[in-house]
Structure 1
Amino acid sequence: MTGSKFSGLKAMREKRHQETEAPSVPEAAPDVTPVSEPPKRKVGRPPGKRSNPEYQQVTVLLHGQTYLEVRKRLLDQRTEVSDLINDLLNDWLNR
């Protein structure tokens, strides 16, 4: 072997550093007016409750068996535990 396993990385870093130090000639900006494209949808999942400022993350301690049974029932209804707890707390506040 002729060097450490990181010698190639060091050489690439030095080369990049030399390229950035070299004086660059500013290119003339083209006189083309950019065509506005319609906004594209982002790929991936839609933003969830965690990124919604109307929601606040809290920690709740529940009995394990209770939580398991609740999750089983909610799975059939396609409802999240947080939605159930939110509904129950709103009902409790409105009493």
Structure 2
Amino acid sequence: MSKFRGLLNTARGREPEPEPESQPPEEVITKQSAAKTQPVAQPEPKPKGGRPKGKRSHPDYEQITAYIRKDTHTAVKIALLEDSQKGEKHEFSELIQELLEQWLQSRT
């Protein structure tokens, strides 16, 4: 019962509702002492729903900014979309990663 229900009932001209009977103190003590002696099973953590975490929150990735020509960017996006229609799904960032790794290997 809300602590304000009595005020609302009085303001509306209603009879106050009787409060529910509480448990005798012996039962409460018995339940509390029983809870202390029995181990409480911890529920297993539920996997979180929703989207999986992406690269933005992954500690191994860092967001960078680079300036490239608009026509190059457009052509790359078109090529990646064409590949995805063939069933080969690549991301722009994966392509940049591969190219940078190849460049680093070629320097050694």
TM (normalized to structure 1)? 0.61
- Percent identical among aligned pairs is 39
Does 2:95 correspond to 1:84?
Answer: yes
Tell me, in whole angstroms, the C-alpha distance in 2 between the residues paired with 1:81 and 1:57: 13
Q: CA deviation at 1:63?
A: 1.3
Partner of 2:71 in structure 1? 65
Partner of 1:5 in structure 2? none
Structure 1: gaps (5+ residues): 1-27
- Which of 40, 45, 48 aligns to 1:39? It is 45
Structure 1 outlier segments of 4+, above 6 Å:
none
Partner of 1:53 in structure 2? 59
Larger radius of gyration: 2
Tell me, in whole angstroms, the C-alpha distance in 2 between the residues paired with 1:62 and 1:55: 21
TM (normalized to structure 2)? 0.55
Tell me, in whole angstroms, the C-alpha distance in 2 between the residues paired with 1:61 and 1:90: 19
Structure 2: gaps (5+ residues): 1-28
Question: Number of residue pairs matched?
Answer: 68
